[in-house]
A and B are shown apart, each in its own frame.
Chain A
Amino acid sequence: MDVRRGTHGTILSLPEPPELRSQCIRLGLCVGAGFLCIERLPGGTIVLETNRQEIALGRHLAKAIGVETA
């Protein structure tokens, strides 16, 4: 994903590597989870809010997550 601040969305797909996927699921980033992008830093680092949690994603990881935006 590469979304703008303030965008609402849903996660459609997670990145390939199994360990990374598990870590995402553990933190609440699952397929079907709704989120709000609360920050997009220049360069692509993204901070999401999902279920009252704020999660920061490095830009490559963010790009590897497929989303659908509202």
Chain B
Amino acid sequence: MNDNALLGPDDLTEAIPHARHHHVDTGAARFLSQTKTKLVLVGNPNVGKSVFFNHLTGMYVDVSNFPGTTVEVSHGDHPRWAVYDTPGIYGVSSFNDEERVARDIILEADVILNIVDAVHLERDLFLTLQLIDMGKKTAVCLNMMDEAEERGIRIDVEELSNRLGVPVLPTTAIQKKGFDKLDTHITQACPGNSNPSLHRSLHDLLNRVGSQAEALMVMEGDQVVAERHGIDPGDERELIYVERRNRVNRLLEKVMTATERRRPFSATLGRLAISPVYGFPFLAVVLYAIYLFVGVFIAQDVVGFTEGTLGNRYFETFVKDRVAAFTAAEITVEKVGLDEAGEEVTTGSRTFSFPQGTDSNPTLAAEMSAYRHIGVNNVSYTFTSPLALVFFGEFGAVSMTVTYLLFLLLPLVFGFYLSLSILEDSGYLPRLATFVDRSLNGIGLNGRAIIPLILGLGCVTMATITTRLLGTDREKRIATSILQFAIPCSAQLAVIAALLATAGLTATLIYSTVILTVFIGIGTTLDRALPGVSSPLLLDLPPMRMPRARNVLRKTWVKTVAFMKEATPWFFIGALAVSIMQVTGLLDVWVNLLAPITTGWLKLPQEASTAFVMGLVRRDFGAAGLYDMALSPMQVVVALTTITLFVPCIASLMVMLKERGTREGLVIWIGSWVLALGIGGLVALLIV
């Protein structure tokens, strides 16, 4: 027995009868397994928890939102345990959504596997000691041992285990070193040696609160847990934290020695990334790489194939052929060939009329089949029945939505999330946030907001969902507004770039300046106008390293699936709404309402108002409509400015309403109509 040993928590709970008290059901208990022993993985960000999770759970893993939140929790099965992975946290508390979810899962856990980074014990042991103070059965894995050795860090594992009072297993997860002992190690988990004086105070609280863990939460001032038990939160968090920090330091003095070695290359790289001199070229290279990958490779090459060929040519014709079987349809078949430049051209066409659908005229249908059999075709369908139009027409809620979601958006979203995951796994992302923090402060945000802003260039809907990671409501509001007002998404960007290329350099400069000004203007205005303070940047910078393919792909996949699940219903509803509007003639009413503003105020041809309204469904429709109009370069600037500032697509609106609430969402939405038309007109006044 060493001088830190005391009554284990088990003794405590038996000694004090659990008196009746007000206990609120959190939903966490129902979310987690009722039958199997619950094993929860806990650790700081970037310690390699995922490798352990994958090893313990194998192929089938379920990722779902923790009830009432948007935080994703992974759950997998092991023969012995129901395994849960928690978001990386620096401590158990309620400072943000991730921590709140981790806290609730930890409170319900039967066994905790705490993964710790051997290179950063000073930081990681804080969480370990907190888990031990909570009285939870814990087993610790000392990960990244190989790196620690390289850095000249020596740890007396046995002494560490004795002092903590819990089993400690040294591992190097990426090489699976130590994994053969993992299962046994976990079964040896036990409550450790908690802080003696703290322990005594927790003792006093135990008859009001369900467990030692909850008692600690209450003492550390956790509002939520305190409320669940109908008592006031304590106010000693800071004292407890400082004491815990001191315990970590004293502990490490006894078990760890570090000799300063030469700084590894990754550290030098990390310094470069945030250096005022080299940071810029670093950033430029990264952004350019993303542009090449997502903007060129995916947006043009991949999507050209998936949307053009798979989507339009195969999927849509397949579906529409089925529909044309039994409803009035006029089918135009265009023969496609390649000209000398390799571009697609129409080399012939025929229109087949089926007033009662193809099934009722098998002869003509066979003729059409034969015609279509030769070479490559573009087939377009004109339906007359309103029902067919709503679901399979130009804005067909089924035909267009599926093509858009699966064949256009999915590759783009995947590409963006992949880029982001690589940036994150390499350790560059927090450095990027550090680098741009000062600039973003000017618009009321901090460096972390760079993530939704970059994602906004991919898909504003996807970015709006990501604003959840921002610290305060204030920042979420500012970021969402900027996204909805001033960021063109990739669907539009391609068309905008093409149009600007034809309009010339001056036009491009004017356009960029206007958009940038609006971007900054909205940010600064909201920053001044909104009450409160935005959260400051306080970021732990992980070491830079080669991103690991498995990790990156897994993260990308999870995020992409989550996005598709969330956004699909909204795109469908949006397309349905616009489709119905088109069929009922309501769309034309809107277009006519806008026409005078378009021609008089914006000085654009009347057809432009159609483009604006089309942009409500798909932003690229809005921009593409401008191609066919003969616009002067300055008119191009006005038109592009207006559609960029204009409301993003319906799906984006829906997600924003969900994230910010109906009232705020509508204010932003209506505001963007006003802003877009207002500024568009102002620009027209000045330059057309």
- Across the interface, A22 reaches (CB within 8 A) one of B93, B119, B433, namely B93
Of the A-B pairs whose beta carbons lie under 8 Å apart in the complex, a sample of 26, sorted by A's number, is A18-B221, A19-B95, A20-B538, A22-B238, A25-B245, A27-B90, A28-B123, A30-B245, A39-B274, A41-B434, A41-B438, A42-B276, A43-B438, A44-B438, A45-B435, A47-B274, A52-B122, A53-B540, A56-B437, A56-B447, A56-B537, A56-B538, A56-B539, A57-B536, A58-B441, A59-B441
Does B66 belong to the interface (CB within 8 Å)? Answer: no
Name the A residues within 8 Å of B95 (CB-CB). 19, 22-23
Does B270 belong to the interface (CB within 8 Å)? Answer: yes
Chain B nearest CB from A42 CB (Å) reads 6
B276 touches A38 (CB 8 A): no
Give Cα A41–Cα B238 distance, bound, in whole angstroms: 30
Q: Which residue of B lies closest to A43 (CB)?
A: B438
- Bitwise, B537-560 to A at CB < 8 A (1) or not (0) is 111110000000000000000000
Q: Which residue of B lies closest to A38 (CB)?
A: B271
B538 touches A25 (CB 8 A): no
Give Cα A20–Cα B434 distance, bound, in whole angstroms: 18
Q: What is the total number of residues of chain A having a CB less than 8 Å from a CB of chain B?
A: 32
Name the A residues within 8 Å of B276 (CB-CB). 39, 41-42
Give Cα A49–Cα B241 distance, bound, in whole angstroms: 20
Does A55 belong to the interface (CB within 8 Å)? Answer: yes
Contacts A20-B536, A52-B258, A53-B123 hold; do A58 and B447 have CB atoms under 8 A apart? Answer: yes
Give Cα A33–Cα B126 distance, bound, in whole angstroms: 15
A41 touches B447 (CB 8 A): no
B536 touches A58 (CB 8 A): yes
Chain B nearest CB from A8 CB (Å) reads 14
Does B574 belong to the interface (CB within 8 Å)? Answer: no
Give Cα A56–Cα B374 distance, bound, in whole angstroms: 64
Centre residue among B433, B434, B447, B540 by max chain A CB count within 10 A: B434
- Across the interface, B241 reaches (CB within 8 A) one of A26, A39, A55, A61, namely A26
Within 8 A of A (CB), among B106-146: 119-120, 122-123, 126
Q: Which residue of A lies closest to B260 (CB)?
A: A52
Centre residue among A28, A31, A54 by max chain B CB count within 10 A: A54
Give Cα A57–Cα B207 distance, bound, in whole angstroms: 41
Give Cα A28–Cα B554 distance, bound, in whole angstroms: 31
Chain A nearest CB from B3 CB (Å) reads 24
Main secondary structure of the interface of A (DSSP, over half): mixed
Give Cα A49–Cα B347 distance, bound, in whole angstroms: 68
Does B313 belong to the interface (CB within 8 Å)? Answer: no
Give Cα A54–Cα B539 distance, bound, in whole angstroms: 8
Give Cα A31–Cα B242 distance, bound, in whole angstroms: 9
Q: Which residue of A lies closest to B440 (CB)?
A: A58
Does A60 belong to the interface (CB within 8 Å)? Answer: yes
Name the A residues within 8 Å of B123 (CB-CB). 27-28, 51, 53
Centre residue among B90, B447, B538 by max chain A CB count within 10 A: B538
Give Cα A39–Cα B536 distance, bound, in whole angstroms: 17
Within 8 A of A (CB), among B598-641: none
- Bitwise, A5-30 to B at CB < 8 A (1) or not (0) is 00000000000001111111111101
Chain B nearest CB from A19 CB (Å) reads 6
A42 touches B438 (CB 8 A): yes
- Bitwise, B431-462 to A at CB < 8 A (1) or not (0) is 10111011101000011000000000000000
Give Cα A42–Cα B439 distance, bound, in whole angstroms: 10
Name the A residues within 8 Å of B185 (CB-CB). none
Does B229 belong to the interface (CB within 8 Å)? Answer: no
Does B237 belong to the interface (CB within 8 Å)? Answer: yes
Chain B nearest CB from A13 CB (Å) reads 13
Does B54 belong to the interface (CB within 8 Å)? Answer: no
A30 touches B242 (CB 8 A): yes
Name the B residues within 8 Å of A51 (CB-CB). 120, 122-123
Contacts A45-B434, A47-B434, A54-B541 hold; do A28 and B271 have CB atoms under 8 A apart? Answer: no
Name the B residues within 8 Å of A52 (CB-CB). 119-120, 122, 151, 258
Does B91 belong to the interface (CB within 8 Å)? Answer: yes
Does B295 belong to the interface (CB within 8 Å)? Answer: no
Chain B nearest CB from A52 CB (Å) reads 6
Within 8 A of A (CB), among B252-286: 258, 270-271, 274-276, 279
Give Cα A59–Cα B447 distance, bound, in whole angstroms: 11
Name the A residues within 8 Å of B434 (CB-CB). 41, 45, 47, 56
Name the A residues within 8 Å of B90 (CB-CB). 23, 26-27
- Bitwise, B49-90 to A at CB < 8 A (1) or not (0) is 000000000000000000000000000000000000000001
Give Cα A55–Cα B93 distance, bound, in whole angstroms: 20
- Across the interface, B242 reaches (CB within 8 A) one of A25, A43, A44, namely A25
Name the B residues within 8 Å of A55 (CB-CB). 538-541
Q: Which residue of B lies closest to A21 (CB)?
A: B238
A45 touches B119 (CB 8 A): no
B122 touches A24 (CB 8 A): no
Nearest 6 A/B pairs, CB to CB? A43-B438, A58-B537, A61-B536, A58-B536, A51-B122, A56-B434
Name the A residues within 8 Å of B241 (CB-CB). 22, 25-26
B91 touches A26 (CB 8 A): yes
Give Cα A40–Cα B60 distance, bound, in whole angstroms: 46
Give Cα A26–Cα B94 distance, bound, in whole angstroms: 13
Name the B residues within 8 Å of A56 (CB-CB). 274, 430-431, 433-434, 437, 447, 537-539, 541
